[in-house]
Amino acid sequence: MMPHASARAGFWIVAAVFAATMAYSTVPTPLYPLYEQSDGFPVSLVTVIYSAYAVGVIVSLYLFGHISDWFGRRPMILIAVAISLVSGVMFLAWPETAGLVAARLVNGVSIGIMSATATAYLGEVRAVAAPTEKPAFAASVAGAANLGGLALGSLIGGAMAEVLPDPLVLPHVLFLVLLTVALVAVAAVPETVARPAKAPRYRPQKLSVPRANRSIFLVAAFGAFAGFAVFGLFSSLIPTFLGGEFEDRDHLLAGISVFAIFGASAVGQLALAGARLRTQLTVAVLACTVGLVGVATGAILVQIALFLGGGVIAGLGVGLLFRGAIGTSLAIAEPGHSGETVALLFLIAYLGPVIPVLAVGAGLSFAPPLAVLLVFVVLVLAATVSAGLIMRRRAAS
């Protein structure tokens, strides 16, 4: 068995690497308007670039998310970091439109592998480092590294774009250096999986829908899908909306906005971690309602504070809604199949930044941004609130 000290060090090293890898995935968000100016592509193409990332995550989770169970956590984390480094090189060497799509797709593959593997690693290694500690601590750190990294990346990208020269180069160079250091650090952490003498036959991730509770699972998955659509919209188009509708082209503000939305999601989950599922879903429904109405009202009145404040409140609600969807899925999963059920939930959730966001991009090619945004808000509001209320009623029964 690995020493406790080694396990403790491995826990925090992987948590930091997890956060850094996630952060790099949102660094390009405040840079999209600069890529638009440089390459001259329409705003609708931003949604294609962002959706390529989500597709990469989905494919990666399905094909590779479970391999670390027998291949080992450490080698798969190393592979995830290496793939992220490849995407960074692609951003620098191929900054044209096709290159951006390809780089985001590759980066998504990295995130899919890292999310599944690092989360499992943190739970296992923490059990060695602190055997009497409740598993909730490792889960909270994993969640903070995931959403906190997503929040920090946009802030770093926006800040560097605002105050430093070469904003399409230096952010990528910084993270190439950080991820190279991460590669070296992860190579030294202890392994938590004993490799079998003979590797099992490869198959994609097995997915499972609980037979007796398919309807409530579909509701939970629909809520996660709609919630991630909100994240996708803000992560891909908020800099463009700020520059177009509000005539504010401050890259730092764009980064801060996405940081605040993801940060609110993370803070909400941590703050209500001990609350009952029914309570969490109540807050989720209220926050989604107030937040999305605020986004729409701010867009109509051209009030940037109301628009962004609504986004932050909606982010809090979406985070709790997704946590509720996970709780609902775990509660109804068949014995021995919870991993398969949650994996399917994640795959459906990550379709949220693909299908609706691509639809928004298509709408922007023939309709004013305000009209497209309002239609999106109405649809997502109906979806998140209805899913949250049904899950809440199920949790109360």
Where does residue 12 rank: exposed (0-12), middle (13-18), buried (19+ CB within 10 A)? middle
Whether the predicted pLDDT of 366 surpasses 70: yes
Same domain, 26 and 174: yes
Same domain, 178 and 220: no
Same domain, 224 and 86: no
CA 285 to CA 220: how far, in whole Å? 13
Average pLDDT of span 383-396: 87
Q: How confident is the model at residue 111 (pLDDT cuts 50, 70, 90)?
A: very high
CB-based contacts of 365, cutoff 8 Å, min separation 6: 42, 44
Same domain, 88 and 165: yes
CA 177 to CA 185: how far, in whole Å? 13
Per-chain mean pLDDT for the chain:
87
* AA identity, residue 195: R
For residue 3, the tally of other CB atoms under 10 A from its CB is 11
Whether the predicted pLDDT of 75 surpasses 70: yes
Q: How confident is the model at residue 360 (pLDDT cuts 50, 70, 90)?
A: confident
Last residue of a domain, one of 170, 201, 232: 201
Same domain, 244 and 357: yes
Average pLDDT of span 79-104: 96
Same domain, 220 and 237: yes
CA 178 to CA 181: how far, in whole Å? 5
Same domain, 149 and 277: no
Do 70 and 193 meet the contact criterion of CB atoms below 8 Å apart? yes
Looking at per-residue pLDDT, the higher value among 27 and 365 belongs to: 27
Average pLDDT of span 314-325: 89
CA 320 to CA 40: how far, in whole Å? 38
Q: What per-residue confidence (pLDDT) applies to 5? A: 54
The position carrying tokens 């909730």 is: 136
Same domain, 188 and 230: no
Virtual CA dihedral for 253, 353, 43, 164, nearest 10 degrees?
30
Count of domains for the chain: 2
Count the alpha carbons within 13 Å of 198 in the hemisphere toward its beta carbon.
2
What single DSSP character describes residue 66?
T
Q: Return the SS3 of 242.
A: helix
Q: What per-residue confidence (pLDDT) applies to 107? A: 97
We report the CATH number of the domain holding residue 344 as 1.20.1250.20
Among 46-60, 80-94, 209-223, 284-298, the minimum mean pLDDT is found in: 209-223
- What would the pLDDT profile of 289-308 be if each residue is shown by its tens digit? 999 999 999 989 989 899 99
By percentage, how much of the chain surpasses pLDDT 70?
96
Q: What per-residue confidence (pLDDT) applies to 66? A: 85
Average pLDDT of span 236-252: 74
Same domain, 226 and 163: no
Whether the predicted pLDDT of 199 surpasses 90: no
Q: How confident is the model at residue 345 (pLDDT cuts 50, 70, 90)?
A: confident
Last residue of a domain, one of 201, 233, 262: 201
Q: How confident is the model at residue 148 (pLDDT cuts 50, 70, 90)?
A: confident
- What would the pLDDT profile of 155-181 be if each residue is shown by its tens digit? 999 999 888 889 999 999 999 999 999
Whether the predicted pLDDT of 2 surpasses 70: no
- What would the pLDDT profile of 20-39 be if each residue is shown by its tens digit? 999 999 999 889 888 988 88
Q: What per-residue confidence (pLDDT) applies to 370? A: 86
Q: How confident is the model at residue 213 (pLDDT cuts 50, 70, 90)?
A: confident
Whether the predicted pLDDT of 231 surpasses 90: no
CA 54 to CA 315: how far, in whole Å? 18
Token digits of residue 281: 């879903």
Where does residue 236 rank: exposed (0-12), middle (13-18), buried (19+ CB within 10 A)? buried
**DSSP-assigned letters across all residues of 10-28:** HHHHHHHHHHHHHHHHHTT
Same domain, 215 and 302: yes
Token digits of residue 253: 């503000």
Whether the predicted pLDDT of 143 surpasses 80: no
How far is C-alpha 149 from the chain's CA centre?
A: 9
Q: Nearest CA to 190 among 141, 125, 118?
A: 125
Q: What per-residue confidence (pLDDT) applies to 334? A: 78
Average pLDDT of span 119-146: 81
Average pLDDT of span 358-375: 86
> Could you list the residue range(s) of the whole structural domain that residue 152 is in?
1-201
By percentage, how much of the chain surpasses pLDDT 90?
40
Same domain, 216 and 96: no
Q: What per-residue confidence (pLDDT) applies to 174? A: 97
Q: What per-residue confidence (pLDDT) applies to 237? A: 72
Same domain, 13 and 109: yes
Q: How confident is the model at residue 313 (pLDDT cuts 50, 70, 90)?
A: very high
Average pLDDT of span 333-350: 79
Last residue of a domain, one of 143, 175, 201: 201
